[in-house]
Amino acid sequence: MGDKNEQKVILVFDKVEFKLKANERLQYGLEFLSQQILTKKEQDEWWDAFIDWDVYKEELLKQAFDRPDNFYAQDYKRHTGGGGGIFLGNYVPPTLQESIESARDGMKYQVRKLKWFYEKIDLLKVSEIISKTDNSKEKFNQLLNLLSRFHKVAQELRDRRQSRDTLIIKDEYDVQDLLNATLNLHFDDIRKEDFSPSTAGGNSRLDFVLKKEKIIIEVKMSSERLGSKELGEELLIDIGRYKEYPDCNDLVIFIYDKAGHIRNKKGLINELEKQSTSNWKVTVVINPD
Protein backbone atom coordinates (compact mmCIF):
# COMPACT_ATOMS: atom_id res chain seq x y z
CA MET A 1 0.00 0.00 0.00
CA GLY A 2 3.02 2.36 0.09
CA ASP A 3 3.74 2.89 3.80
CA LYS A 4 6.58 5.29 3.00
CA ASN A 5 4.16 7.71 1.33
CA GLU A 6 1.67 7.39 4.19
CA GLN A 7 4.22 8.70 6.67
CA LYS A 8 4.93 11.86 4.70
CA VAL A 9 1.47 13.42 4.90
CA ILE A 10 0.22 15.42 7.87
CA LEU A 11 -3.42 15.79 8.89
CA VAL A 12 -4.40 19.47 8.98
CA PHE A 13 -7.95 18.95 10.30
CA ASP A 14 -8.95 18.57 13.92
CA LYS A 15 -8.66 14.79 14.37
CA VAL A 16 -11.85 14.36 16.40
CA GLU A 17 -13.96 16.38 13.97
CA PHE A 18 -12.34 14.66 11.00
CA LYS A 19 -13.09 11.22 12.44
CA LEU A 20 -16.72 12.20 12.99
CA LYS A 21 -16.97 13.43 9.40
CA ALA A 22 -15.34 10.27 8.00
CA ASN A 23 -17.69 8.08 10.07
CA GLU A 24 -20.66 10.09 8.82
CA ARG A 25 -19.59 9.40 5.21
CA LEU A 26 -19.00 5.73 6.04
CA GLN A 27 -22.49 5.29 7.47
CA TYR A 28 -23.95 7.07 4.46
CA GLY A 29 -22.04 4.68 2.18
CA LEU A 30 -23.35 1.66 4.07
CA GLU A 31 -26.87 2.92 3.43
CA PHE A 32 -26.28 2.62 -0.32
CA LEU A 33 -25.41 -1.05 0.06
CA SER A 34 -28.62 -1.83 1.95
CA GLN A 35 -31.01 -0.15 -0.48
CA GLN A 36 -33.38 -2.35 -2.52
CA ILE A 37 -33.43 -1.33 -6.19
CA LEU A 38 -36.24 -2.61 -8.41
CA THR A 39 -36.36 -0.41 -11.52
CA LYS A 40 -33.97 1.15 -14.01
CA LYS A 41 -34.98 4.63 -12.82
CA GLU A 42 -34.23 3.70 -9.22
CA GLN A 43 -30.90 2.29 -10.33
CA ASP A 44 -29.93 5.52 -12.11
CA GLU A 45 -30.86 7.70 -9.13
CA TRP A 46 -29.08 5.30 -6.77
CA TRP A 47 -25.90 5.37 -8.82
CA ASP A 48 -25.94 9.18 -9.20
CA ALA A 49 -26.25 9.59 -5.43
CA PHE A 50 -23.36 7.16 -4.92
CA ILE A 51 -21.13 9.09 -7.34
CA ASP A 52 -21.86 12.31 -5.38
CA TRP A 53 -20.89 10.46 -2.18
CA ASP A 54 -17.70 9.15 -3.75
CA VAL A 55 -16.63 12.53 -5.16
CA TYR A 56 -17.21 14.17 -1.76
CA LYS A 57 -15.12 11.48 -0.07
CA GLU A 58 -12.24 12.07 -2.51
CA GLU A 59 -12.36 15.83 -1.91
CA LEU A 60 -12.42 15.29 1.87
CA LEU A 61 -9.27 13.18 1.65
CA LYS A 62 -7.55 15.80 -0.52
CA GLN A 63 -8.28 18.68 1.84
CA ALA A 64 -7.61 16.76 5.06
CA PHE A 65 -3.84 16.65 4.53
CA ASP A 66 -1.04 19.10 3.85
CA ARG A 67 -0.75 17.77 0.28
CA PRO A 68 -3.86 17.50 -1.94
CA ASP A 69 -2.13 14.82 -4.02
CA ASN A 70 -1.55 12.72 -0.91
CA PHE A 71 -1.36 8.95 -0.81
CA TYR A 72 -4.82 8.49 0.70
CA ALA A 73 -6.63 10.62 -1.87
CA GLN A 74 -4.91 8.75 -4.69
CA ASP A 75 -5.21 5.24 -3.27
CA TYR A 76 -8.88 5.57 -2.28
CA LYS A 77 -9.92 7.06 -5.60
CA ARG A 78 -12.44 5.01 -7.55
CA HIS A 79 -10.98 3.54 -10.75
CA THR A 80 -13.40 3.26 -13.66
CA GLY A 81 -11.55 0.50 -15.56
CA GLY A 82 -9.78 0.21 -18.92
CA GLY A 83 -10.74 0.84 -22.50
CA GLY A 84 -13.01 -2.11 -23.10
CA GLY A 85 -12.44 -5.16 -25.31
CA ILE A 86 -13.46 -7.00 -28.48
CA PHE A 87 -16.46 -9.30 -28.32
CA LEU A 88 -16.81 -12.25 -30.70
CA GLY A 89 -20.20 -13.71 -31.44
CA ASN A 90 -23.47 -12.48 -30.03
CA TYR A 91 -23.21 -10.06 -27.08
CA VAL A 92 -25.85 -10.57 -24.41
CA PRO A 93 -26.36 -7.43 -22.30
CA PRO A 94 -26.71 -7.96 -18.54
CA THR A 95 -30.14 -8.12 -17.01
CA LEU A 96 -31.29 -5.29 -14.73
CA GLN A 97 -30.59 -7.42 -11.68
CA GLU A 98 -27.10 -8.31 -12.92
CA SER A 99 -26.38 -4.63 -13.61
CA ILE A 100 -27.57 -3.67 -10.12
CA GLU A 101 -25.42 -6.33 -8.44
CA SER A 102 -22.39 -5.27 -10.48
CA ALA A 103 -22.88 -1.67 -9.33
CA ARG A 104 -23.35 -2.84 -5.75
CA ASP A 105 -20.02 -4.72 -5.90
CA GLY A 106 -18.28 -1.49 -6.99
CA MET A 107 -19.92 0.39 -4.13
CA LYS A 108 -18.87 -2.30 -1.63
CA TYR A 109 -15.24 -1.89 -2.62
CA GLN A 110 -15.29 1.90 -2.17
CA VAL A 111 -17.10 1.67 1.16
CA ARG A 112 -14.67 -1.02 2.33
CA LYS A 113 -11.70 1.22 1.45
CA LEU A 114 -13.20 4.09 3.44
CA LYS A 115 -13.68 1.71 6.39
CA TRP A 116 -9.99 0.72 6.21
CA PHE A 117 -9.04 4.38 6.22
CA TYR A 118 -11.41 5.23 9.10
CA GLU A 119 -9.83 2.53 11.28
CA LYS A 120 -6.38 4.10 10.97
CA ILE A 121 -7.33 7.77 11.59
CA ASP A 122 -6.14 7.57 15.22
CA LEU A 123 -2.65 6.71 13.93
CA LEU A 124 -2.35 9.72 11.62
CA LYS A 125 0.18 12.44 12.34
CA VAL A 126 -1.43 15.80 13.08
CA SER A 127 -0.05 19.24 12.27
CA GLU A 128 1.68 20.85 15.28
CA ILE A 129 -0.49 23.93 14.79
CA ILE A 130 -3.65 21.83 15.08
CA SER A 131 -2.28 20.04 18.17
CA LYS A 132 -1.58 23.36 19.87
CA THR A 133 -5.04 24.62 18.96
CA ASP A 134 -6.68 21.52 20.45
CA ASN A 135 -4.74 21.96 23.69
CA SER A 136 -5.70 25.65 23.85
CA LYS A 137 -9.38 24.75 23.46
CA GLU A 138 -9.12 22.21 26.27
CA LYS A 139 -7.48 24.72 28.61
CA PHE A 140 -10.03 27.42 27.75
CA ASN A 141 -12.90 25.01 28.44
CA GLN A 142 -11.30 24.02 31.76
CA LEU A 143 -11.28 27.68 32.76
CA LEU A 144 -14.95 28.18 31.85
CA ASN A 145 -15.93 25.03 33.73
CA LEU A 146 -14.02 26.19 36.81
CA LEU A 147 -15.75 29.59 36.74
CA SER A 148 -19.17 28.01 36.27
CA ARG A 149 -18.65 26.00 39.49
CA PHE A 150 -17.17 28.84 41.56
CA HIS A 151 -20.28 29.43 43.68
CA LYS A 152 -20.52 25.74 44.56
CA VAL A 153 -16.88 25.75 45.72
CA ALA A 154 -17.50 28.88 47.79
CA GLN A 155 -20.50 27.25 49.48
CA GLU A 156 -18.50 24.12 50.34
CA LEU A 157 -15.85 26.26 52.02
CA ARG A 158 -18.46 28.16 53.99
CA ASP A 159 -20.12 25.04 55.39
CA ARG A 160 -17.17 23.51 57.28
CA ARG A 161 -17.62 21.02 60.11
CA GLN A 162 -17.39 21.90 63.81
CA SER A 163 -17.66 25.63 63.05
CA ARG A 164 -14.06 25.83 61.89
CA ASP A 165 -12.75 29.10 60.44
CA THR A 166 -13.19 29.42 56.72
CA LEU A 167 -13.27 31.90 53.87
CA ILE A 168 -16.48 33.90 53.67
CA ILE A 169 -16.70 35.84 50.43
CA LYS A 170 -17.63 39.41 51.29
CA ASP A 171 -16.06 41.40 48.47
CA GLU A 172 -14.15 41.27 45.20
CA TYR A 173 -10.80 40.63 46.90
CA ASP A 174 -12.18 37.46 48.48
CA VAL A 175 -13.35 36.32 45.05
CA GLN A 176 -9.88 36.91 43.63
CA ASP A 177 -8.18 34.99 46.46
CA LEU A 178 -10.38 31.92 46.08
CA LEU A 179 -10.18 32.04 42.29
CA ASN A 180 -6.39 32.28 42.44
CA ALA A 181 -6.28 29.12 44.54
CA THR A 182 -8.56 27.17 42.20
CA LEU A 183 -6.77 28.34 39.04
CA ASN A 184 -3.66 26.56 40.30
CA LEU A 185 -5.44 23.25 39.82
CA HIS A 186 -5.21 23.58 36.02
CA PHE A 187 -2.75 26.34 35.16
CA ASP A 188 0.98 26.69 35.78
CA ASP A 189 1.82 30.33 35.04
CA ILE A 190 -0.74 32.61 36.71
CA ARG A 191 0.19 36.26 37.08
CA LYS A 192 -1.30 39.34 38.66
CA GLU A 193 -0.07 42.25 36.59
CA ASP A 194 -0.26 46.03 36.60
CA PHE A 195 -1.03 47.34 33.16
CA SER A 196 -1.33 51.04 32.34
CA PRO A 197 -2.30 51.77 28.74
CA SER A 198 -2.34 55.45 27.80
CA THR A 199 -6.11 55.77 27.63
CA ALA A 200 -7.34 59.11 29.01
CA GLY A 201 -4.76 58.85 31.77
CA GLY A 202 -6.54 55.79 33.18
CA ASN A 203 -4.86 52.94 34.99
CA SER A 204 -6.16 49.37 34.64
CA ARG A 205 -4.84 46.57 36.80
CA LEU A 206 -5.23 43.11 35.35
CA ASP A 207 -6.63 40.64 37.87
CA PHE A 208 -5.01 37.57 36.30
CA VAL A 209 -3.07 36.72 33.18
CA LEU A 210 -2.63 33.08 32.12
CA LYS A 211 0.63 33.57 30.24
CA LYS A 212 0.89 30.26 28.41
CA GLU A 213 -2.77 30.33 27.37
CA LYS A 214 -2.70 34.08 26.50
CA ILE A 215 -5.87 34.75 28.51
CA ILE A 216 -6.69 37.81 30.62
CA ILE A 217 -9.16 37.24 33.46
CA GLU A 218 -11.13 40.19 34.85
CA VAL A 219 -13.00 39.58 38.12
CA LYS A 220 -16.03 41.50 39.38
CA MET A 221 -18.51 40.98 42.19
CA SER A 222 -21.97 42.48 41.98
CA SER A 223 -23.41 44.46 44.86
CA GLU A 224 -26.11 47.00 45.59
CA ARG A 225 -23.75 49.63 44.21
CA LEU A 226 -22.62 47.51 41.27
CA GLY A 227 -25.66 46.29 39.36
CA SER A 228 -25.99 45.51 35.66
CA LYS A 229 -25.75 49.17 34.53
CA GLU A 230 -22.71 50.06 36.63
CA LEU A 231 -20.88 46.81 35.86
CA GLY A 232 -21.55 47.23 32.16
CA GLU A 233 -20.17 50.78 32.12
CA GLU A 234 -17.03 49.82 34.05
CA LEU A 235 -16.33 46.75 31.97
CA LEU A 236 -16.79 48.49 28.62
CA ILE A 237 -14.02 50.90 29.66
CA ASP A 238 -11.83 48.03 30.86
CA ILE A 239 -12.33 46.07 27.63
CA GLY A 240 -11.14 49.06 25.60
CA ARG A 241 -7.98 49.29 27.69
CA TYR A 242 -7.23 45.58 27.83
CA LYS A 243 -7.19 45.36 24.04
CA GLU A 244 -3.85 47.16 24.26
CA TYR A 245 -2.32 44.38 26.35
CA PRO A 246 0.33 42.53 24.29
CA ASP A 247 0.24 38.88 23.32
CA CYS A 248 -3.25 37.95 24.55
CA ASN A 249 -6.17 36.84 22.41
CA ASP A 250 -8.88 36.28 25.02
CA LEU A 251 -10.47 38.30 27.76
CA VAL A 252 -12.60 36.26 30.16
CA ILE A 253 -14.80 38.36 32.44
CA PHE A 254 -15.99 36.60 35.58
CA ILE A 255 -18.80 38.24 37.53
CA TYR A 256 -19.71 36.68 40.88
CA ASP A 257 -23.37 37.48 41.43
CA LYS A 258 -23.67 35.97 44.91
CA ALA A 259 -26.72 37.99 45.99
CA GLY A 260 -28.49 38.05 42.61
CA HIS A 261 -28.11 41.77 41.87
CA ILE A 262 -27.95 41.18 38.10
CA ARG A 263 -31.44 40.57 36.83
CA ASN A 264 -30.84 40.47 33.08
CA LYS A 265 -27.73 38.31 32.96
CA LYS A 266 -28.13 37.33 29.32
CA GLY A 267 -28.49 40.97 28.27
CA LEU A 268 -25.29 41.99 30.08
CA ILE A 269 -23.38 39.04 28.61
CA ASN A 270 -24.51 39.88 25.08
CA GLU A 271 -23.62 43.55 25.46
CA LEU A 272 -20.09 42.81 26.63
CA GLU A 273 -19.36 39.92 24.25
CA LYS A 274 -20.34 42.18 21.31
CA GLN A 275 -17.02 43.94 21.91
CA SER A 276 -15.18 40.94 20.46
CA THR A 277 -13.23 41.45 17.23
CA SER A 278 -11.66 39.08 14.70
CA ASN A 279 -8.49 38.73 16.81
CA TRP A 280 -9.79 39.58 20.30
CA LYS A 281 -12.49 37.49 21.96
CA VAL A 282 -14.51 38.56 24.99
CA THR A 283 -16.20 35.79 26.99
CA VAL A 284 -18.41 36.52 30.00
CA VAL A 285 -19.30 34.11 32.80
CA ILE A 286 -21.80 35.12 35.48
CA ASN A 287 -22.10 32.72 38.40
CA PRO A 288 -24.48 31.69 39.87
CA ASP A 289 -26.25 31.83 36.50
Same structural domain, 154 and 275: yes
Percent of the chain with pLDDT over 70: 85
Identity of the residue numbered 184: N
Read off the pLDDT of residues 208-233 as tens digits, 9 standing for 90 and up: 999 888 899 999 999 999 999 999 99
Which among 126, 144, 165 is the end of a domain? 126
The total number of structural domains in the chain stands at 2
Residue 26 and residue 74 in one domain: yes
Largest separation between any pair of C-alpha atoms in the chain: 102
State the Cα angle at 40 between 39 and 46, rounded to 5°. Answer: 90
Q: Which tens digit of pLDDT belongs to each residue from 28-84?
A: 999 989 999 999 999 999 999 999 999 998 899 988 888 888 888 888 888 765 444
Q: Which helix (H) or strand (E) holds 217?
A: strand 215-221
Range of the domain at 70: 3-126
Task: Tell me: pLDDT of 131 over 80.
Answer: no
pLDDT at position 184 is 92
Residues 217 and 184: their CA atoms lie apart, in Å, by 14
Q: Do residues 10 and 66 lie in contact, with contact meaning Cβ atoms separated by under 8 Å?
A: yes
What is the CB neighbour count within 10 angstroms for residue 15?
A: 18
- State the pTM of this model: 0.56
Please report the pLDDT score of residue 202 as a whole number.
Answer: 53
174 and 213 both lie in a single domain: yes
Q: Are residues 104 and 179 in the same domain?
A: no
How does pLDDT run across 143-177, given as a tens digit for each residue? 999 999 999 998 888 766 666 667 788 999 999 99
144/274 same-domain check: yes
**Across 246-268, average pLDDT:** 92
Per-residue pLDDT for 137 more than 70? yes
163 and 219, same domain (yes or no) = yes
